[in-house]
């Protein structure tokens, strides 16, 4: 079963009418538009909400949900995550992937040697780095550069890599 994808975090309430300040955790802040349904992950449960209105507020967004009526209700949501179903994410260009699509993929060399499972993606200035955990529990750090990744098949949950010389030493 696919987990929901986090697209924002509620920072605090704004005003007295139930608006909240949201930190977008997505490259697509336009997803916060009226009529869009989100799920609020409250830790002990979830709640479906619909965006009534949203507008920029510095690096944050001010969002009003139809289901949240007052400041006290909004304050109770402080720190909660906003999520969408995995099939509701914004489409990406060809050969681009969301991190949640890559996590859990089995990683092999192009020669067919099993390296492990992709467990994390580190974001760096130069390029992402894939953290692959071997069956022995060792972490392998692979530069996520196109020329080193001839195959990424998220449907089959398989990634093939060309290992740079000396990487496993």
User: pTM above the 0.95 mark?
Assistant: no
Per-residue pLDDT of the chain (169 residues; tens, 9 = 90+): 568 888 999 999 999 999 999 999 888 888 899 999 999 988 778 899 999 999 999 999 999 999 999 999 999 999 999 999 988 888 888 888 888 889 999 999 999 999 999 999 988 888 889 999 999 999 999 999 999 999 999 889 999 999 988 877 7
For domain 5-88, give its CATH number from 2.40.30.60, 3.40.50.720, 3.40.640.10, 1.10.3720.10.
2.40.30.60
Class of domain 99-161: mainly beta
Kindly list the domain boundaries of the chain, sorted by start residue: 5-88, 99-161
- Please classify residue 80 by burial: count the beta carbons closer than 10 Å to its beta carbon, then call 0-12 exposed, 13-18 middle and 19+ buried: buried
Instruction: Locate all alpha helices (DSSP H) within the chain, ordered by sequence.
Output: 71-75, 99-102
């Amino acid at each position: 079963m696919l987990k929901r994808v986090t697209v924002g975090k509620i920072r605090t309430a704004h005003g007295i009418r139930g608006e909240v300040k949201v930190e977008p955790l997505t490259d697509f802040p336009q997803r916060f538009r009226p009529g869009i349904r989100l799920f609020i992950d409250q830790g002990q449960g979830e709640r479906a909400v619909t965006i009534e209105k949203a507008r920029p507020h510095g690096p944050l967004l001010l969002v009003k949900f139809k289901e949240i009526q007052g400041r006290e209700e909004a304050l109770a949501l402080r720190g909660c995550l906003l999520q969408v179903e995995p099939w509701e994410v914004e489409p990406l260009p060809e050969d681009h992937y969301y991190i949640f699509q890559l996590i859990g993929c089995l990683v092999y060399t192009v020669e067919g040697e099993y390296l492990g499972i992709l467990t994390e993606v580190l974001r760096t200035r130069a390029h992402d780095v894939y953290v692959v955990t071997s069956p022995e529990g060792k972490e392998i750090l692979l530069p996520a550069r196109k020329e080193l990744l001839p195959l990424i098949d998220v449907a089959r949950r398989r990634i093939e890599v060309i290992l740079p010389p000396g990487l496993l030493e």
